[in-house]
Amino acid sequence: MTIADIPATPVRREREPTRVGWLIRQPKAVLSIGFLLFLICIALLAPLIAPYDPTKPDFGALLQGPSAAHWLGTDDLGRDILSRLMHGAGPSLLSAFASVGLGVAIGVPIGLLAGFLGGWTDTIISRILDALLSFPTILFAVGVAGVLGPSMLTGLVALGVLFSPQFARLVRARTLVVRQELYVDAARAFGASTNRILVRHVLPNAAQSAIVHGGLLLAIALLAESSLSFLGFGVQPPWTSWGAMLARAYAYMEAAPYLMFPPGIMILLTALSFNGLGETMRVLLDPQSPKA
């Protein structure tokens, strides 16, 4: 009897569930991502689909409640709330993504260096990170944005700088682990430079945790940006953001209490979706987390 005669036992392959397959069975993930995509479309198409010019006052229609002409009513200058809501989506989303992106851009390289070089570099960087982590976020951002000149840019730079130590710490911790791995030793033995090891071997490994954390930070960034714009330190006129709309609503709280609901609810839904997205990314990308 030769090997060829042995009947092949059929190998039963369990079909591994694909990531996409898993994803579409998660109602929370689908809803979150769907809502965010919808918002991005609205933000991009706002100039085309908004029923009114968001900056044009209409003194014949001040502080009107919802009506057929103005679905969500008008503000104190007669501007259409629905149009402003659509135009405000862009700056609100952009600030959230940009401040978290900046946090990653600053934090990841710093964390890599601290973790990989160790010694005094690590000690000094760690103390600076400790210092940055102890600034109360919005208090600090208000101060910096106010003194440097309030604008969307200073606001999101201040937030980005404050978010960066979270990424730096995370990446530093991952780097400390990865540094010990055999393959890094092997790369070094083959003569790879520190730069090469960092970029080719350590970074991909550490970046994953940074991305996951970034997803979970988006909602916090959105709320922080809204707070800044609410106080007048974020997005400046003629642009608008949901936080800035809440500031107008606050000024007319007694005369027109309905003004506070559209922007507030949009911030809430967007933050919920960001958290849904972050949670989904965590489950998909982090091999250690249980797929609930």
Partner 1 sequence: MIISKASQRMIGRRLLQFVPVVFCVAFIAFFLLNIAPGDPAELLAGEFPTEERIEEIRQYYGFDRPLVVQFADWFGSALQGDLSESLLTREPVLDIIISRFPYTLFMVVYAMVIATVIAVPLGIAAAAKPGSWWDSAAAAISSFGVAVPYFWVGMVLVAIFALKYPIFPATGAVPFGEDPWGAIHAATLPAIALAMSGIAEVTRQMRAAMIEVLSSQYVRTLRAKGLSRRKVLFRHGLRNVGITVITVITLVFNRKIGATVVLETVFAIPGVGSTMVHAAVNKDYLVVQGIILVMAMVVITVNLLADILYAVIDPRVEIET
Q: Using CB under 8 A, list all residues that contact partner 1.
A: 126-128, 130-132, 134-140, 142-149, 161, 219-220, 223, 226-227, 230-233, 243, 246, 249-250, 253-254, 257, 260, 263-264, 267-268, 271-272, 274-275
Token pair for residue 154? 């200073």
Quick count: other Cβ atoms within 10 Å of Cβ 36?
18
- The answer for residues whose C-beta is within 8 angstroms of residue 223's C-beta and 6 or more apart is 267, 271
- Looking at the chain, list the stretches that DSSP marks H as alpha helix, in order from N- to C-terminal side: 19-24, 27-49, 81-117, 119-133, 137-148, 152-179, 182-189, 194-196, 203-231, 242-251, 261-285
| Residue 74, beta-bridge partner list | 80
The CA-atom distances, in angstroms, between 15 and each of 23, 119, 287 are 16, 48, 19
